């Protein structure tokens, strides 16, 4: 028995709305990462509807997706607010990331010979000896994200990856970038090489410890972000 045309059309419409909402959420995420939307800033529903040519139901679906990514907070009668953090929030976030990313590095070491893991990591490792990631803070940050995401992917644990997704600080990306120095980039690059070497050697214990120490260094720098209460 075929489904009534009306129900099928409604299902397709909802599916399309979800795809549009995901696309809009990604565009708003880019605005947050580029500093065009600041922590604590309220998203104006009517302006977003006009900018992206979408309806109220789609913008609310977008808000839910942004909330799930840890980018906004939903407040009663105020809508969506770009997530603002305190020093305590930042410390707690990085403490969790420290443990989870350490676990991801350990699992990546166990999975090093699965699929294309070894080949990818060997190529990724070479990036961190290049001058452009040592002398250019923005390029360093741009390469840093796929390196960490790649190791999380190598862990092969979907729940772990899902737990880590909202534990980012995109709203403070530009402030964090301004604190980075060449010395910091050199130390961070050296960390990445050592982490990669431990994973390539299948040494899960060392990989976990090195990643935890590396994330702790990032946490220490994040505490210096201006405006944290």
pLDDT attached to residue 9: 44
177, 141 Cβ separation under 8 angstroms: yes
Residue 210: CB atoms within 10 A of its CB come to 22
Question: Is the distance from CB of 46 to CB of 54 less than 8 angstroms?
Answer: no
What is the pLDDT, as a whole number, of residue 3? 52
**Where do we find the tokens 């800033």?**
41
Q: Residues 61, 17: contact at Cβ < 8 Å? A: yes
- Tens place of pLDDT per residue across the chain (229 aa): 455 555 454 545 556 778 999 999 999 988 887 778 888 899 999 999 999 999 999 999 999 999 988 889 898 877 899 988 889 999 999 999 999 999 999 999 999 999 999 999 999 999 999 999 999 999 999 999 999 999 999 999 999 999 998 887 877 888 899 999 999 999 999 999 999 999 999 999 999 999 999 999 999 999 999 878 7
Q: What pLDDT does residue 77 have?
A: 75
Residue ranges of the alpha helices (H) in the chain?
5-33, 45-52, 56-68, 87-110, 117-127, 131-135, 137-155, 158-164, 173-179, 182-200, 204-222
Contact 210, 198 (CB under 8 A): yes
Q: At what angle do helices 204-222 and 87-110 cross, to 10 degrees?
A: 160
Token pair, residue 56, equals 């109220």
Q: Catalogue all structural domains in the chain, each as residue range(s) with its CATH number.
A: 5-82 (1.10.10.10), 87-222 (1.20.120.530)
Which residues, listed in sequence order, are joined to residue 82 by a DSSP beta bridge? Answer: 72
> In this predicted structure, what is the pLDDT of residue 165?
84
For 126, how many CA atoms within 13 A lie in the half-sphere containing its CB? 5
**What is the pLDDT, as a whole number, of residue 32?**
86
Match 């699929």 to its residue by tokens.
115
- In this prediction the pTM is 0.79
- Sort residue 4 into left (φ over 0), alpha (ψ -120 to 50) or beta: beta
DSSP of 13-58:
HHHHHHHHHHHHHHHHHHHHHTTSS-TTPBP-HHHHHHHHT--HHH
Q: What is the DSSP letter of 170?
A: G
**pLDDT score for 13:** 54
pLDDT of residue 153: 97
């Amino acid at each position: 028995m075929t489904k009534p045309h009306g129900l099928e059309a409604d299902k397709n419409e909802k599916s399309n709305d979800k795809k549009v909402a995901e696309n809009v959420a990604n565009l708003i995420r880019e605005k947050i990462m580029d500093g065009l939307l600041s922590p604590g800033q309220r998203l104006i529903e009517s302006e977003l509807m006009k900018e992206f040519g979408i309806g109220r139901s789609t913008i609310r679906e977008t808000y839910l997706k942004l909330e799930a990514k840890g980018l906004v907070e939903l407040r009663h009668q105020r809508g969506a607010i770009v997530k603002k953090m305190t020093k305590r929030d930042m410390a707690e976030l990085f403490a969790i990331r420290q443990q989870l990313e350490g676990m991801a590095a350990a699992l990546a070491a166990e999975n090093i010979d699965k699929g294309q893991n070894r080949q990818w990591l060997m190529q990724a490792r070479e990036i961190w000896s290049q001058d452009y990631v040592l002398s250019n803070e923005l390029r360093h940050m741009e390469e840093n994200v796929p390196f960490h995401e790649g190791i999380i992917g190598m862990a092969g644990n979907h729940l772990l990856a899902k737990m880590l997704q909202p534990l980012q600080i995109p709203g403070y990306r530009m402030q964090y970038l301004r604190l980075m120095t060449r010395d910091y980039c050199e130390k961070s690059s050296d960390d990445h090489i050592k982490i990669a070497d431990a994973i390539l050697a299948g040494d899960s214990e060392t990989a976990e410890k090195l990643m935890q120490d590396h994330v702790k260094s990032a946490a220490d720098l994040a505490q210096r972000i201006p405006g944290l209460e």
